[in-house]
Amino acid sequence: MLYPLKFSPILKDKIWGGTKLKNLFDKDTDTNNLGESWELSGYEGDESVVTNGFLAGNNLAELIEIYMGELIGDKLYDEFGLSFPLLFKLIDANENLSIQVHPGDEVAAERHNSFGKTEMWYVVDADPGAVLIIGFTKDCTKAEYLDALEKDKVEDLLQKVPVTKGDVFFIPAGLVHAIGKGVVVAEIQQSSDITYRIYDYKRKDDNGNERELHTEQALDVINFAAARNPKTNYKIQLNEITPLVECEYFTTNMLRFDAPVTRNYGTLDTFVAYMCLEGNLIIECNDEKTVVNKGDTVLIPAEINEVGLIPDSLVTLLEVYVL
Residues 55-73 as b/e (b if ≥16 CB within 10 A, e otherwise) read beebbbbebbeebbbbbbb
Question: What is the pLDDT at residue 159?
Answer: 97
Q: Do 5-219 and 241-321 fold alike per CATH?
A: yes
The percent of residues in the chain predicted with pLDDT above 90, rounded, is: 96
Question: What is the pLDDT at residue 173?
Answer: 98
Closest CA to 284 of 260, 303, 265: 260
197 is catalytic: yes
**Cα 239 from Cα 237, distance rounded (Å):** 6
Q: Give per-residue pLDDT as tens, 174-230.
A: 999 999 999 999 999 999 999 999 999 988 877 888 889 999 999 999 999 999 888
Question: What is the pLDDT at residue 49?
Answer: 98
Per-domain residue ranges for the chain? Answer: 5-219, 241-321
Whether 184 and 121 have beta carbons less than 8 Å apart is answered as: no
pLDDT at 276 over 80: yes
What's the predicted TM-score (pTM) here? Answer: 0.97
Q: Give per-residue pLDDT as tens, 38-85.
A: 999 999 999 999 999 999 999 999 999 999 999 999 999 999 999 999
Q: 204-211: long-range contacts (C-beta < 8 A, 24 or more apart)?
A: 205/15, 206/15, 211/15, 211/98
Q: Which CATH architecture has domain 241-321?
A: Sandwich (2.60)
CATH homologous superfamily for the domain 5-219: Jelly Rolls (2.60.120.10)
Question: What is the pLDDT at residue 229?
Answer: 86
Question: What is the pLDDT at residue 228?
Answer: 87
- Selecting among 197, 203, 211, 256, the annotated active-site residue is 197
**Contacting residues for 131 by C-beta, under 8 A, at least 6 apart:** 160, 161, 162, 163, 180, 183
**Cα 225 from Cα 219, distance rounded (Å):** 13
DSSP of 73-141, one letter per residue? -HHHHHHHTT---EEEEEEEESSPPPEEE---HHHHHHHHSS----EEEEEEEE-TT-EEEEEESS---
DSSP state of 204: B
The CA-to-CA distance between both ends of the chain, in Å, stands at: 23
pLDDT band at residue 108, thresholds of 50, 70 and 90? Answer: very high
Question: What is the pLDDT at residue 206?
Answer: 76
Question: What is the pLDDT at residue 226?
Answer: 96
**Cα 175 from Cα 248, distance rounded (Å):** 16
Question: What is the pLDDT at residue 80?
Answer: 97
